[in-house]
Structure 1
Amino acid sequence: MAFQAQSEEQEAMSEINVTPLVDVMLVLMVVFLVTAPLLTQSVKVSLPKTASTDQSDKDQPMKLGIDAQGGVTLNTQPVADLAALETTLKTEVQSNPELAVHLYADQAVNYAQVAKVMAAVQRAGIGKMAFVSTEGQP
């Protein structure tokens, strides 16, 4: 066995040997394919039973609805105008500072009317408002 010195005519090999990389990736793929079905199995657990609790009315958000004609309802009760809505909401906020409002607006209602109702809610001091995406009133 003779050792050959690198001559000036031969260039350095600049190719990457990807065979070990492919071998590692195939082994990882097999490991994931074998372990994936094991992760989806569930364990049957008998959970303890507790007494049911009812939420108080203070925890329930107020339902504010705007119909297609621009009429406003608060908890299914019609409201005369935005000033009356604002005073009603202010009295509710005084009794429950963490009051939340769910706004149900019909898809045909003018956005300006929705913005006016939102401004009245904000002026009343309510910071939690959510939009519910169902058509019509609550």
Structure 2
Amino acid sequence: MAGQVLEDDDTAISDINVVPLTDVMLVLLIVFLITIPVVVQRIPVTLPKVSYEPTVTKPDNVSLSVRGGPNGTCEVYWLMKKVDQKELLDLAVKKLEDQIKKVGGVQNITEENMPEAHIRGDVNTPYKCIGATIITMQQAGFQRVGFISQPPPNEAVAPR
């Protein structure tokens, strides 16, 4: 960007050399064209819409806690007592039999007096542990098996 003065003319020529500017712009354009597709690539996933409803705890409901144990084993707790799958099935069947006796027979069982199973699963619990617990409770006869989760912080939930 040096100025030139012609010998026969006393006026300065102030032409700007735009070749270096053009080179820099082309290099930046190529860099952006290469990097933008890498940044924008993503796999389309439809995430579930989660709404948190307060749990109405009835005394007849069963509270289960499930977590992964050592060496890939599963630990299931009925209230605070650790049980295996056989004990879980036996306790669940006994719970339903007691409820049927309490309401006066199978014909008196309704949605309102049918106990539910509420499962609290640790975040790091393998799916096989949760799935086996669900299947066991369904085999025992529980129609409603749900999950207890923790709502995100600072999210207010209005009771229904």
TM-score by length of 1: 0.51
Count of aligned residue pairs for this structure pair:
77
- Residue 77 (str. 1) matches residue 84 (str. 2): no
Provide, for residues 69-93 of structure 1, a one-character-per-residue CA deviation record: whole Å limited to 9, x for no partner: 22110111111x1011001100000
> Superposition pairs for residues 1-138 of structure 1, below 5 Å?
57-58=59-60, 61-69=61-69, 70-79=74-83, 81-97=84-100, 98-134=114-150
> Are the aligned partners of 1:63 and 1:76 in contact in 2 as well (CA < 8 Å)?
no
Stretch deviating more after TM superposition (94-103 or 121-130): 94-103
Question: Letter of the aligned partner of 1:68 in structure 2?
Answer: G
Is the partner of 1:127 in helix, strand or coil? coil
> Are the aligned partners of 1:62 and 1:100 in contact in 2 as well (CA < 8 Å)?
yes
* Unaligned stretches of 5+ residues in structure 1: 1-54
> Are the aligned partners of 1:64 and 1:74 in contact in 2 as well (CA < 8 Å)?
yes
Distance 1:109 1:91, change over 3 A: same
Please list every run of at least 4 consecutive aligned residues from structure 1 whose deviation after the TM superposition is greater than 4 angstroms: none
Percent identity reads 17
TM-score by length of 2: 0.45
> Are the aligned partners of 2:96 and 2:141 in contact in 1 as well (CA < 8 Å)?
yes
* Unaligned stretches of 5+ residues in structure 2: 1-56, 101-113, 151-160
Rounded Cα–Cα distance in structure 2 between residues aligned with 1:68 and 1:113: 7
> Are the aligned partners of 2:76 and 2:82 in contact in 1 as well (CA < 8 Å)?
yes
Instruction: Give the RMSD, CA atoms, in angstroms.
Output: 1.7
Provide, for residues 13-48 of structure 1, a one-character-per-residue CA deviation record: whole Å limited to 9, x for no partner: xxxxxxxxxxxxxxxxxxxxxxxxxxxxxxxxxxxx
